[in-house]
Amino acid sequence: MALLDGSILIVDDNKNILSALEILLTPLFGEVGSLSSPEQIPAELRKKDYNIVVLDMNFKAGINTGNEGIFWLGKIRDINPDISVVMITAYGDIETAVKALKAGATDFVLKPWDNEKLIATLRLALELNLSKKEVKHLKEREYGLKKELIRDQKYIIGSSPQLTAVLNLVRKVAKTDANVLITGENGTGKELIAREIHRLSSRSAEALVTVDVGSLSETLFESELFGHVKGAFTDAHENRQGKFETADKGTLFLDEIGNLSLHLQSKILSAIENRQITRIGSNQVIPVDIRLICATNRNPDTMVREGLFREDLLYRINTIQVELPPLRERGNDIIVLAEYFLKKYTYKYNKPDLRLNRQAADKMLGYSWPGNVRELEHTIEKAVILSDSSILKPEDLYLRPSSTFTGSASFTTLDEMERHMIQQALASNNGNFTAAAEQLGITRQTLYNRLKKQRNDK
């Protein structure tokens, strides 16, 4: 007879019955456990994830009411309501057995039992348990996916050579299942690139699940990524699917992986290497099929040299590295993005006639944007909210003065030096062309001509 891929726990105080059932069922089930006392049930069920419990109706000598069996049936269902519980009862206890069915038992078996009927009953009990697990798995996955789908849709905007080179690499990488590490400063759009890789991949019909691992505490880390079972810890009131499971067949994006402690890095490494996870409080191994994308704003090679990041983990996540350029290196993309955010927030705050003037644009071009695209978006939103006119002027843009370009920058050509000096002059004079021209020692018209030439050269 074929082996049934399931586990079964037999609970009976009669050791002869335990032995007989073990001999009968061990060749059929993947795992057969036995207990002679129902008091051991809670600890055993929290230790192992059984599909079926075969439970005697009576345990105390001289008491045949079946109430003990019904009591322990309730305890089992409290621990795991999906376990199939098959009651064992004598002929005279059929009425009590029916009561047990109403209390949630899957079926009952009469003593002495017929082996074939018993096996058929247990087979159906196993199928019921597996179907319940599958339904619960799908519901958990649906819940996890809904949380991912409610994220705002964002777009990659710009056409600078630096961004174009990144997108060309993304298109090549996306066609594979290779692990990708995205690096770059804060606010450069690492999650957008991860979403683009997923969108262009063969897994695009499945979910992209994102996790900011750097924000997770050590106590929440395993539960968030690997999930937990009910009762695994104080607040574990129900089973929960982790991010690895939710991303099965899709893509898992682990943001800010450089912020993980070495202890947590080892747990990530194990899951990646084995392509399987185990929920907290369970011994059941769950295989996962994911495409992994990671991101960090730190230099991973430097972290390895300093002993802050595991070299073997870096090799695992860094099959392909995508380095995102900072916004200050993307030239006119700054203005393109600013116009996009201006349109977004003028609509949001009902100021449809608001626009940028040239001086405000030049001020943005002369700023180093240490917070990159995220800082630019916040700057435009703030300017839209506080603006009292239909034109955004340089003074409407609240930028950090210390973040404009300084004379310490190094240049390889005279054109680069000229561009830098003009941007710095405009920034220090809040976009005022006359004042900037005076500072540079040239006429206002010459300044206009130099800027026009620079834009045409891009």
Task: Select the more confidently predicted residue: 167 or 90.
Answer: 167
DSSP string for residues in 114-138:
PHHHHHHHHHHHHHHHHHHHHHHHH
Average pLDDT over residues 106-114: 87
DSSP string for residues in 303-314:
HHHTTSS-HHHH
**Dist. CA 360–CA 357, nearest whole Å:** 5
Which of 12, 63, 7, 4 is CA-nearest to residue 41?
Answer: 12
- Residue 407 pLDDT > 50: no
According to DSSP, the residues that pair with 29 across neighbouring strands are 4
3-state secondary structure of 357: coil
Which of 205, 207, 206, 208 is CA-nearest to residue 193?
Answer: 208
**Dist. CA 84–CA 126, nearest whole Å:** 7
pLDDT at 200: 95
- Residue 408 pLDDT > 80: no
pLDDT at 174: 96
Residue pLDDT, tens place only, 86-103:
998 876 567 777 888 888
According to DSSP, the residues that pair with 53 across neighbouring strands are 9, 85
Going from the C-alpha of 152 to that of each of 147, 155, 339, 340, 424, the distances in angstroms are: 11, 10, 19, 16, 35
Laid out side by side, the sheet with 251-255 consists of 208-212, 251-255, 291-296, 180-183, 320-323
Average pLDDT over residues 365-389: 93
Q: Decide the pairing of beta strands 208-212 and 251-255.
A: parallel
pLDDT at 150: 44
Average pLDDT over residues 387-408: 74
Average pLDDT over residues 352-370: 91
Q: Please give the biggest Cα pair distance in the chain.
A: 110
Name the DSSP class of 326.
P
Going from the C-alpha of 259 to that of each of 85, 148, 216, 316, the distances in angstroms are: 46, 22, 10, 17
Residue by residue, what is the 3-state secondary structure of 223-266?
A: HHHHEECCCCCCCCCCCEECHHHHCCCCEEEEECHHHCCHHHHH
pLDDT at 403: 47
pTM over 0.95: no
Instruction: Judge residue 423's burial from the number of C-beta atoms within 10 Å of its C-beta, 0-12 exposed, 13-18 middle, 19 or more buried.
Output: buried
Percent of the chain with pLDDT strictly greater than 90:
49
Confidence of residue 406 (pLDDT cuts 50, 70, 90): very low
Residue in the block written with tokens 């968030």: 224
Task: Select the more confidently predicted residue: 123 or 408.
Answer: 123
**Dist. CA 408–CA 445, nearest whole Å:** 28
pLDDT at 360: 92
Asked if the peptide bond before residue 325 counts as cis, ω within 30 degrees of 0, the response is no
Residue pLDDT, tens place only, 208-225:
999 998 888 888 899 999
The tokens for 277 are: 């996870």
The tokens for 54 are: 């075969």
**Dist. CA 36–CA 12, nearest whole Å:** 5
pLDDT at 409: 47
The tokens for 222 are: 């395993």
- Residue 435 pLDDT > 70: yes
Residue pLDDT, tens place only, 223-261:
999 998 888 888 888 888 899 999 999 999 999 999 999
pLDDT at 400: 76
Residue pLDDT, tens place only, 45-86:
888 889 999 998 887 655 566 678 888 999 998 888 889 999
pLDDT at 146: 52
Which of 131, 132, 107 is CA-nearest to residue 121?
Answer: 107
pLDDT at 421: 77
Average pLDDT over residues 116-145: 79
Name the DSSP class of 387.
-
Q: In terms of residues, how long is the chain?
A: 458
Average pLDDT over residues 390-410: 70
Residue pLDDT, tens place only, 190-208:
999 999 999 999 999 898 9
Average pLDDT over residues 417-428: 75
Confidence of residue 322 (pLDDT cuts 50, 70, 90): very high
Question: Helices 94-102 & 67-79, crossing angle to 10 degrees?
Answer: 20
Residue pLDDT, tens place only, 14-28:
888 899 999 998 888
Domains and CATH numbers, the chain: 4-133 (3.40.50.2300), 161-325 (3.40.50.300), 328-457 (1.10.8.60)
Which of 374, 200, 369 is CA-nearest to residue 291?
Answer: 200
- Residue 394 pLDDT > 60: yes
Residue pLDDT, tens place only, 329-343:
999 999 999 999 999
- Residue 440 pLDDT > 80: no
Please state, as a whole number, how many other Cβ atoms lie within 10 Å of the Cβ of residue 246.
24
pLDDT at 381: 95
pLDDT at 304: 95
- Residue 134 pLDDT > 80: no
According to DSSP, the residues that pair with 8 across neighbouring strands are 32, 52
Residue 191 sits at φ, ψ, to 5 deg, of -70, -35
